[in-house]
Amino acid sequence: MRGLCGCPEKPVAGAKRLCVKANCNRKLTVKLLGMLNEVRKFALTCLLAPILAAGPLAAHDIITTNLTYTRDISRIFARRCISCHGPSSSIPLTSYEETRPWAVDIKEQVLSRSMPPWGAVKGFGNLLIDHALTQEEIIIITAWVVGGAPQGDPAMLPKEQPAVMAPPTVPLRDAVTIVTRTTLREPLTALGLRPVPDKPVGSARITARLPDGRIEPLVWLYRLDPKWNRVFRFREPIQLPSGTIVESSEPLRFALETTEAAVSGATTLSLAR
Ligand code: HEC
């Protein structure tokens, strides 16, 4: 049997020390640990329990919203979240049972625009696929959580999952790689921008200053994780005449994208010369 202090020796009844090992000095530690445990127990039973019981995730929430999981939230999630939070992900959000325990966290994630992780500021530049939630979607999710996150009628669930937004079919490739700032020597039809950062990007605004002085916003990267390998496609091709200055507000490596065809065209041209 081990002594109370954790030493392998047996405790001796009535001894001052908790064990007979001559240099064992753990009596005080044991006492302090005991006190700490008492404090912890008190905190758990007297302080935390009522909070937990009355917390926003309690079973007896008062429902103060007409929004429901089955009618409203499931449809937004199918469009915006399930591609990453599918059945085999670490945090699946494919049913009410899976979603409900995350409700408060979900509200915080969407309000801070941390989820879905998009990596760009909405409304800057003219991007083809915008993974960020609309203001309306954020309000619906937030109001649903604040209103008690009710399930609603299971019959209202979507009959089939909407098609996940198909990626555009035209393959793109790097036309020019830029480190922070460059002046284009050749005209370029830019179809997208591919950041190639070596570390997560906090905030970097990328613009093109055209020779006529106009500034074309390209994309404002925001909290971008390099492992997402995002290509930001422009809704319309952007014509950049030679002499255009393309620059990022922060040190950053990125590529301007164009189509296969445009690149092979360019190669042919230079070969012909
Ligand atoms: C592009 C992929 C992607 C999309 C789309 C996405 N998420 Fe996430 N989400 C993640 C990743 C990755 C994590 C981290 C998960 C992990 O640690 O396993 C995460 C974590 C979370 C977490 C837990 C955060 C925490 O750490 O407490 C919540 C809640 C969440 N996502 C909600 C959502 C919601 C709601 C949506 C849709 C509006 C969404 N996510 C869309 C990738 C995504």
Share of the chain above pLDDT 90, in %: 58
Tokens of 104: 């408060």
Tokens 């098609």 map to which residue? 163
- Given a cut of 60, whether residue 44 has pLDDT beyond it is no
- Of 104-118, 119-133, 231-245, minimum mean pLDDT range: 119-133
CA of 116 to the centre of ligand 1 (A): 6
CATH no. for 172-272: 2.60.120.260
| Of the ranges 31-40, 70-79, 163-172, the best mean pLDDT one | 70-79
- Which residue's C-alpha comes closest to atom 4 of ligand 1? 116
β partners of residue 40 = none
CA of 83 to the centre of ligand 1 (A): 10
Q: What is 112-162 written as a DSSP string?
A: TT-SS---B-TTSS-BS---SPPHHHHHHHHHHHHTT-----GGGS-SSPP
Residue 173: which of 130, 233, 87 has the closest Cα?
233
DSSP code, position 72: I
Confidence of residue 118 (pLDDT cuts 50, 70, 90): confident
Confidence of residue 229 (pLDDT cuts 50, 70, 90): confident
Domain boundaries, the chain: 1-52, 69-156, 172-272
Q: Mutation test of ligand 1: which of 57, 84, 98 has the most ligand atoms closer than 8 Å to its C-beta?
A: 84
The HSE-up count of residue 49 (CA atoms within 13 Å, CB side) is 7
Q: For residue 147, what pLDDT is reported?
A: 97
Average pLDDT value for residue range 107-115: 93
Residue 27: which of 41, 42, 11 has the closest Cα?
11
